[in-house]
Structure 1
Amino acid sequence: MNSRHQHIIQLVNERGHVSVSELAQVTGVSEVTVRQDLNVLEREHFLRRVHGSAVALESDDVSARMRTRYPVKKKLAEFAATLVNEGEAVFIEGGSTNALLARELAGRNNITIITVSHYIAHLLRDTDCEVIILGGLYQKSSESVVGPLTRYCIQHLNFHKAFIGVDGWHPDAGFTGRDMLRCDVVDAVIAKNTHTIALTDSSKFGQLHPYSLAPGNTFNQIVTDSGLAVHYRERLAEQPTRLDIVEIPESD
């Protein structure tokens, strides 16, 4: 995948819908070239083509999402891994950046990773760390478990930190998600009063989805990248939440 393809994917995912003519202007190539790019990216399931435009996929496929903004998510995962101390048990909820975090932690033989994600558990199958995967209703699209059994498991397990992936953040609504059952899992984690960390790239800020995450509560810490807009940083600074900004070189 070349840098132009990555730029197109990022724009489409951030805006949801971008015209061919605008993509041509932004990338500095002809509309014919953009259409060829979109054909390639649609075949590889990064986006969907409609007449005259490209549309973001509302997909829970972790592998596909991991390839979007990969260099940024990799640096976020590397930073998040430094927050985990030796001997700790950590809950890793799911999502592409959290999957990369699991990879970063995989070589440590004295930590325990607790997850609802079968995708993450599969990544860790040949590694040194201990892995606990929770029970529940298996969502095939996200490869995660949800529902009352998952909530019960969370209530009866203890962990030092919890890393949560989010779908969006809006100044008026806080953190939000696209899936009601996955949001319920997050609510169960936050209700335990453990140290919760929202691990997400800056493209999610400004997006609004139907379901609020832990209304009335808040994350203890937010880890995102330096692409976060200044006005969002100012709003987040007003909250009793630690905000860590991971600097990303412009080439990434």
Structure 2
Amino acid sequence: MQFVRPAAVAGTFYPAKASVLRAEVARLLAGAESADEAAAVAWPKAIIVPHAGYVYSGAVAASAYALLAKGRGHIRRVVLLGPAHRVPFHGLALPGVQAMQTPLGVVAVDQAGVAALAGLPQVLEMPAAHAQEHALEVQLPFIQEVLDGVSVIPLVVGDARPEAVAEVLEKLWGGEETVIVISSDLSHYHPYTEARAIDHHTVEEILRFDPQPIEHDQACGATPINGFLPVARKHHLRPRLVDLCNSGDTAGSRDAVVGYAAVAFYGESHDHA
């Protein structure tokens, strides 16, 4: 087994120099914390966050990660799911490594969590699915800075039925020591006004646990989202929209934009954490 999965998109999606990256994540989190007004007493059980370059979606991602900061010292494990952009395959892929690397150091892969998935036929070990995949990697510096010392269970989600994703999430659900991060952008390459309408509709579907599946043209992470939402509903999580914008609001042209949302899901067991 390869020991570590090296960073693949440092220097493109986020800064490659550790000091610059740490400062950038700190800046994004500071802006998010002041904007959120500490609305929640405790931390979310799960978040949906975008995965574009930090200049485009970093502030939106930070708005959700700032909420997880309340669980620092309590959260020990992050279940991280994102869509496959590079390698097509069926099922959910583990990286087959002991750790994931970023310029900020390494994050351990939770071997107990990996072992818990060993009997599931939809879960495979596929380093190639992770090698150049950005959807999970861009989350790691936030996890490293916000939570410190946690392990991750990184799963790239290929072609899979929602029930297959849900089964994995149930295996790993855990208690307050475990949080779930779903990595997904929203609509891609529509004009600004059209994208805003599409993305508002998508977010409304997510917030009301709409039984109709989210389509892939609404969210590139539709497969992990569609697997997560029924489980979240079953566990009585309460969703809250934290932020919603698109690349036309941040660093791009408004002619063809990509949408970004941060959604936090709170559980009953965290009300008095």
| Alignment TM-score, normalising by the size of structure 1 | 0.37
Larger Rg: 1
| Alignment TM-score, normalising by the size of structure 2 | 0.35
Q: Which has the higher contact order (CA 8 A, sep 6+)?
A: 2
